[in-house]
């Protein structure tokens, strides 16, 4: 059925549910897993009078975020490999989260993307949008969304 499943995760509680379901699906289908976490870059203000953060601090913060993301996908890898599932742990740095998920799925020749819904409701959902919705509407690869 599926040969390679990309599981997008940010380490959140909702995301961990999607990870667990993705691992179960891979176990049932014999698929390999690509565990992905996309790390946003540190926001930089270009407005006059905005607080500026020294570049050394930005680099340190982004490094911490990257290390945290790598720990998340490595944990997915350990869990999946303990069940005999071949897994690759991948992180990417980009402000374009949804596009990065789609690009990674194409690059690693995945035939399914598994991810969590964003968990927002009402006006926040309308105003803030969703990376999940963006992946759903722009991906040519099937997407399984879990809540």
Domain contains 128: yes
pLDDT of 141 over the 70 cut: yes
Question: What pLDDT does residue 128 have?
Answer: 45
- Is the distance from CB of 132 to CB of 145 less than 8 angstroms? yes
What residues are paired with 138 via a beta bridge?
none
Domain contains 46: no
- Phi-psi group of 73: left, alpha or beta (phi > 0 → left; psi -120 to 50 → alpha; rest → beta): alpha
The mean of the pLDDT values for the chain is: 88
- Is the distance from CB of 139 to CB of 113 less than 8 angstroms? yes
Question: What does the block give as tokens for 19?
Answer: 């990870």
Domain contains 61: no
Q: Measured on CA atoms in the order 37, 96, 133, 144, is the torsion positive or negative?
A: negative
Dump pLDDT digits (tens) for 9-24.
999 998 999 999 999 9
Could you tell me the residue range of the domain that residue 23 belongs to? 4-41+69-146
Domain contains 132: yes
Dump pLDDT digits (tens) for 37-50.
999 888 765 555 55
Report the CATH number that the domain containing residue 22 is assigned in CATH. Answer: 3.40.50.620
Domain contains 57: no
Domain contains 55: no
């Amino acid at each position: 059925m599926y040969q390679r499943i990309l599981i997008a995760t940010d380490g959140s509680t909702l995301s961990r549910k999607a990870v667990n379901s993705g691992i179960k699906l891979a176990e049932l289908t014999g698929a390999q897993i690509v565990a992905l976490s996309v790390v946003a870059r540190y926001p930089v203000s270009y407005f006059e009078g905005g607080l500026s953060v020294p570049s050394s601090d930005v680099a340190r913060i982004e490094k911490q975020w990257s290390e945290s993301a790598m720990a998340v996908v490595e944990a997915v890898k350990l869990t999946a490999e303990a069940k005999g599932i071949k897994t690759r742990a991948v992180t990417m740095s980009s402000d374009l989260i949804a596009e990065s998920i789609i690009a990674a799925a194409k690059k690693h020749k995945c035939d399914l993307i598994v991810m969590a819904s964003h968990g927002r409701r009402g006006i926040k959902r309308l105003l803030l949008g969703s990376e999940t919705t963006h992946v759903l509407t722009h991906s040519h690869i099937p997407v399984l969304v879990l809540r």
